[in-house]
Amino acid sequence: MSDVAVLGAGMHPWGKWGRSFVEYGTAAARAALADAGIGWQDVRSVVGADTVRGGYPGYVAGATFAQALGWQGARVTSVYAACASGAQAIDTARAQILAGMAEVVLVVGADSAPKGFFAPAGGERPDDPDWLRFRLLGATNPVYFGLYARRRMALHGDTLDDFAQVKVKNAAAGALNPNARYRAAVSAGQVASSPVVADPLRLLDICATSDGGAALVLSSMEYARRHGAGDPVRIRAVSTVTPTYPRTLLDLPDIATDSAAAVDPPALGFRESIARAAYEEAGLGPEDLSLAEVYDLSTALELQWYEDLGLCGPGEGAKLLREGATALGGRIPVNAGGGLASFGEAVPAQALAQVCELTWQLRGTAGERQVAGARVGMTANQGLFGHGSAVVAVR
């Protein structure tokens, strides 16, 4: 695959603003266009990451954002892949650019999240696993996060303090990020004294639901050169793989695993395969990374991503954290932007926000949270129903 250029990155700050997702997305889009130094009329395609909470406009986000910015004839695409929507939108934009369908593509994602836990859309859907896990088990997302945490404690000896230190690290980074919702340092004692939500995880171990928006302006490398961007940040790889049968680890939104009685489990688990596909396409490995932005729905899940990305061996995630390797100033900073711990979930925007952070880091413009000498960054998250999500960006 060939690289595509990241000409612009923009965000609407995360929070609970109580306004339409369209407002957040258009603000982020205008910021990305200004950052790219191009006009809205120059954009020939808009890819919108959908939100199921925005009514019909949310289901057709590409057209909704194009209309909000002013109809000008650009092609539109709308993409939904739950938490992986932003990465799928980037992948769609990249495919259009490499196919010669458009030289400049605007990618936008935004959400207006409910208060409290996410829940499935209304209606009776007995064939929908996401609906079933709420109806049959009452299993909100934090229930799964608690199960992941207990598994790590049983298998690897991770402790409650290890989980708390992930929050401490990410809160310290988020305090330096003007787009973050939570911008205050947190102590391990504050994590330990916060209310239990899903044993063993406490309130400060789990990310909130948030409003927010993020946008990118992507282009062909030829267009970037003509535009005067001689050395832009480049998207080198996008992974959107699915699991391999049999899937033997319980994951959202399923309430049972596949049977491995007749077929051996795959050599790589789902999250490991997301990273592996991105590395293979980029021609890089974990040793090449300067930083990573990962999907810290919970503190325990961040530790799992360390291992799935190959930053350390199986069961060594907590050790890597304790050594300070993943903090700002460490060998391989993870969630230098503050992660979901500092932002919360604005579902269609979060994979885009990760790439915004990589863009600013690789440009050297991340301010107080700058990772020195950053040249290669990777994002990782996943969406419901086996949507993989990873992006590799280079400079």
What pTM did the predictor assign? 0.97
User: Could you identify the residue written with the tokens 């595509």?
Assistant: 4
Distance CA 12, CA 172 (A): 21
The number of CA neighbours under 13 Å toward the Cβ of 136 is 13
pLDDT value of residue 1: 61
Largest separation between any pair of C-alpha atoms in the chain: 59
246 cis-preceded (ω within 30 degrees of 0) = yes
User: Phi then psi for 34, rounded to 5 degrees?
Assistant: -65, -40
| 64, 23 contact by CB (below 8 A) | no
Distance CA 357, CA 9 (A): 9
| 83, 384 contact by CB (below 8 A) | yes
In the numeric block, which tokens belong to residue 336? 């230098």
Judge residue 325's burial from the number of C-beta atoms within 10 Å of its C-beta, 0-12 exposed, 13-18 middle, 19 or more buried: middle
361-367 long-range contacts, Cβ below 8 Å, gap at least 24? 361/290, 361/291, 361/336, 362/233, 362/290, 362/393, 362/394, 362/395, 363/233, 363/395, 366/336, 366/337, 367/176
User: Could you identify the residue written with the tokens 């530790």?
Assistant: 303
Distance CA 1, CA 9 (A): 22
Judge residue 373's burial from the number of C-beta atoms within 10 Å of its C-beta, 0-12 exposed, 13-18 middle, 19 or more buried: exposed
| Cβ neighbours of 90 (radius 10 Å) | 30
Residues pairing with 32 in the sheet? none
pLDDT values of the chain reduced to their tens digit, one per residue, 395 residues: 689 999 999 999 999 999 999 999 999 999 999 999 999 999 999 999 999 988 899 999 999 999 999 999 999 999 999 999 999 999 999 999 999 999 999 999 999 998 888 888 778 999 999 999 999 889 999 999 999 999 999 999 999 999 999 999 999 999 999 999 999 999 999 999 999 999 999 999 999 999 999 999 999 999 999 999 989 999 999 999 999 999 998 889 999 999 888 899 999 999 999 999 999 999 999 999 999 999 999 999 999 999 999 999 999 999 999 999 999 999 999 999 999 999 999 999 999 999 999 999 999 999 999 999 999 999 999 999 999 999 999 99
Distance CA 298, CA 326 (A): 16
| 233, 361 contact by CB (below 8 A) | no
Helices 299-308 and 141-156: crossing angle in degrees, nearest 10, is 60
Instruction: Say which DSSP state 206 is in.
Output: B
User: Phi then psi for 120, rounded to 5 degrees?
Assistant: -70, 160
| Cβ neighbours of 357 (radius 10 Å) | 29
Distance CA 78, CA 328 (A): 36
pLDDT value of residue 119: 84
Nearest partner of 370 among 389, 383, 357, judged by Cα: 357
Question: Strands 201-202 and 196-198: what pairing?
Answer: antiparallel
Residues pairing with 214 in the sheet? 11, 109
Strands (E), the chain: 4-15, 45-49, 75-79, 104-111, 196-198, 201-202, 211-219, 233-239, 291-294, 376-383, 387-394
Rounded to 5°, angle at Cα 357 from 299 and 99: 115
DSSP letters spanning 74-87: -EEEEE-BTBTHHH
